[in-house]
Structure 1
Amino acid sequence: MTPTGSESTRLAIVRGNSGSGKSSVALAVRSHLGRTCAVAAQDVIRRTILKERDVPGGVNIGLLSTVARYALDNGFHVIVEGILHAERYGDMLAELAADHRGRTGVYYLDVSFEESLRRHEARPQSGEFGAEHMREWYRERDLLGLAGEQLIPSASSLQNTVARILAEVFEQRYEREPDPIDPVVLGSAVRE
């Protein structure tokens, strides 16, 4: 155990399948928080920086942890986001969550394959890969099994998901009112 961050830093781990909306959620939360928040994105580290395939024991796993810890240790709040399959990233994420001194929230965007595919069609990278690759990557409810891990259903709008994470992890109110028809009830889902 190597403690990281401080009592005042916040860590949000946002996971889900391709097309589930994790990057949109992370960027919207960061947009609200501004320069006090870093996003450690699996795709940026694995695909852009390292050009590494997602393999067991990949270098990106350690680098993702290092980036998150470095930012936390320097006073930034951090959002770690990505597909982050439990079988490959679970140990690292569990250690990061356990080692973080501040408030931590762990979220899984629970979106069906069909809905992920529908959302993917509206993304800029929709031409880079399609249904066949997404089916290979898809894991239904690929939970980490960490205490306090929360499922966010596909019925939760982007706005309400962002509001929920901001309230639960960062103790901040979203500037816009949550969508009143969203069925998700906001509740405490974080570890202090």
Structure 2
Amino acid sequence: MARTGSTDSRLIVIRGNSSSGKSHLAQAIRDARPRGIAIVGHDVLRRQILHVRDHPGALSVPYLDLSARFALDHGLHVVIEGILHSESYGPMLTSLRADHRGVTRCYRYDLDLDETLRRHRTKPLAAEVTEDSVRSWYRAADPVHGLDETSLGATVSLRSALDMVLVDAGWPFEDPDAGP
């Protein structure tokens, strides 16, 4: 594919099992840097917009790529977040990373199944998504070779993860309540 974004753009990829904290971290990044960040959420694109099942070759793969590239090419920073299994999304993510002109940082939540299920029980979605479903999606490890992902374990707090991303991306903290 063609080069995407600018030398000033940031691309942040956050992957991991269901209920690991990906969406919370993406929102925390936006809250810390409220202007100019597009969150490209796997669940939103796949489940809500396209309403398709997830598998290699699913429509959600090129749609996620297209959405991220569109935002990057129009001056936005992008946070991609989702389960994003390696066999389905790995080639697209490594291609996007290679094509991105700016700073790219990749993170993967690595939680054991017990912690994943504990976190799942705290979510409103737990009423409609069973623990058996979460178990069936769970992967003990699912690295994407070529992404150089930083592992986030169960002991990493949301604040610590946020601070790590902001520093790694070269972003100073901005207080969203400070005004323009």
TM-score category of the 2 structures, normalised to the smaller one:
over 0.9
Report the counterpart of residue 115 of structure 2 in structure 1. 115
Report the counterpart of residue 85 of structure 1 in structure 2. 85
Q: For 1:7-46, what aligned pairs fall within 5 Å after superposition?
A: 7-46=7-46
In the alignment of these two chains, the number of paired residues is 175
Partners of 1:24 and 1:111 in 2: how far apart? 15
Query: Contact 2:68/2:80 (CA < 8 Å) preserved in 1?
Result: yes
Give me the CA root mean square deviation. 1.2
Q: CA deviation at 1:19?
A: 0.8
Q: CA deviation at 1:172?
A: 2.0
Q: Which one-letter code corresponds to 2:75 in the other structure?
A: G
Report the counterpart of residue 178 of structure 1 in structure 2. none
Report the counterpart of residue 51 of structure 1 in structure 2. 51
Partners of 2:16 and 2:174 in 1: how far apart? 22
Query: Contact 1:109/1:153 (CA < 8 Å) preserved in 2?
Result: yes
Query: Contact 1:10/1:170 (CA < 8 Å) preserved in 2?
Result: no
Moved over 3 A (4+): none
Partners of 1:159 and 1:12 in 2: how far apart? 16
Q: Which one-letter code corresponds to 1:36 in the other structure?
A: G
Report the counterpart of residue 128 of structure 2 in structure 1. 128
Query: Contact 2:33/2:173 (CA < 8 Å) preserved in 1?
Result: no
SS of the counterpart of 1:105? strand
Query: Contact 1:162/1:174 (CA < 8 Å) preserved in 2?
Result: no
Q: Which runs of 5+ in 2 are unaligned?
A: 176-180
SS of the counterpart of 1:12? strand
Q: How does the TM-score come out when normalised to structure 1?
A: 0.88
Q: CA deviation at 1:66?
A: 0.4
